[in-house]
């Protein structure tokens, strides 16, 4: 704590730190600069990882492997029955002007038609 000053006063704190920095000897400054350069070099090598094409290839391969395993392990569900086709099959009966008895006896009429064609031809 700075003697005689308010500990929350930022101007006093900055002034005190500036004065203390001026009192640092040359050997300590050299060590601080060397540490700073080493830290910046380490950060730069870590940032260069994604600048390499090999990193993209590795990430792409990992994504492909994950997707392949996911597709392989997810069970395939059977499709539900299609109900729309049956509605279209019944559409002529619904729109017809014939009575329901005509459609109930449809098998008989089909049989009779084939018999008549067989007798004629």
How far is 87 from 94, CA to CA, in rounded Å? 10
pTM for the complete prediction?
0.29
Condensed to tens digits (0 to 9), the pLDDT of residues 73-102 reads: 887 777 666 666 666 777 777 788 888 787
pLDDT at position 78 is 73
Q: Which residues of the chain have pLDDT under 50?
A: none
pLDDT at position 63 is 94
pLDDT at position 7 is 59
């Amino acid at each position: 704590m700075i003697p005689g000053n308010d500990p929350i006063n930022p101007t006093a704190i900055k002034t005190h730190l500036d004065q203390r920095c001026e009192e640092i000897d040359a050997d300590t400054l050299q060590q601080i600069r060397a540490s700073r350069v080493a830290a910046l070099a380490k950060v730069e090598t870590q940032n260069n990882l994604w600048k390499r094409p090999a990193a993209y290839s590795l990430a792409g391969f990992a994504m492909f492997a994950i997707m392949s395993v996911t597709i392989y392990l997810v069970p395939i569900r059977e499709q539900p029955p299609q109900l729309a086709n049956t509605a279209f099959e019944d559409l002529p009966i619904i729109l017809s002007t014939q009575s329901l008895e005509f459609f109930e006896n449809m098998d008989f009429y089909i049989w009779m038609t084939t018999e008549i064609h067989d007798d004629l031809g």
